[in-house]
Chains A and B, each alone.
Chain A
Amino acid sequence: MKFVISVLSSSHAPSTRRALRFAQAVLAAGHEIIRVFFYQDGVLTASNNLVVAQDQQDIAQQWQAFIAENELDAVVCIAAALRRGVLDQTEAQRYGREAANLAEGYQLSGLGQLHDGLQQAERLISFGGQ
């Protein structure tokens, strides 16, 4: 079965960890993840500037590794990302910012990509709140 997973809370929210464990179980069961869509505070998971305390799990890093290992299509809402300071090289140049911090494996794009994913998928599971 084809899934789209959306992540709506920041990387230290329990729901973002739950989303990752769910996504891992989806692939382990032989299903397909069409797209992971990061929206609202969820875009912070795609920043490579996060520094997590040593006694805590780095869920953003785990998401990044999971996406890379499975070559998933990870789309970050561009409007939500810009306002939270998550920029790729193109946007950093466009707005005259010193550095880009979008982690490898993610791409900035619009809400249209969520809609497009839904056209192909049979299930959308959203993880937000706490």
Chain B
Amino acid sequence: MTTLHILNASPSTATQLKSCLRVVSIGDGIVLCGEAVQALRPGSAAAEQLLACQQTYHLYALQEDVQARAIDTTMVSVTLLDYPAFVALCVDYARVNSWT
């Protein structure tokens, strides 16, 4: 049974990402939205943490939040989502965990 983890906090001010990476299982999904998309910033410590175990999970990010922050995602394997795609993911995964 796979889980979709939804993160919204900046990796520089919260431990959400760290805690999530500790419990993420093979086949799970991680959605970054709001300030959590800062974890995609190339060269950041959070980006390195994310990429270190990326074979385990699928990585998604809310497109409007990535664009609003002008984050270059060309170096990262991440699927950008609009809201309909976000909803569809919540349906596809058996469980959804909103980290707030």
Contacts and interface: CB of A to CB of B under 8 A. Distances in A.
A123 B90 CA distance: 8
Interface stretch (A25-33, A69-77, A83-91, A98-106): A25-33
Contacts of B10: 130
Interface stretch (B20-28, B43-51, B71-79, B80-88): B80-88
Contacts, number: 54
A130 B62 CA distance: 14
Interface of B: 6, 8-10, 14, 33-35, 62, 83-84, 86-88, 90-91, 96, 98, 100
B69 to A, nearest CB: 12
Interface stretch (A16-24, A46-54, A55-63, A111-119): A16-24
B66 to A, nearest CB: 13
B86 A25 contact: yes
A28 B86 CA distance: 12
A8 interface: yes
B98 A22 contact: no
Contacts of A8: 100
B100 A123 contact: no
29 contacts: A1-B91, A3-B90, A15-B34, A18-B33, A18-B34, A18-B62, A22-B87, A25-B84, A25-B87, A26-B87, A29-B84, A29-B87, A29-B88, A31-B91, A123-B91, A125-B6, A125-B90, A125-B98, A126-B98, A126-B100, A127-B8, A127-B98, A128-B8, A128-B100, A129-B9, A129-B100, A130-B10, A130-B34, A130-B35
Chain A contact patch, size range: 20 to 34
Contact of B9 (A18, A123, A130): A130
Interface of A: 1, 3, 8, 14-15, 18, 21-22, 24-26, 28-29, 31, 123-130
Given A124-B96, A130-B34, A15 B87 contact: no
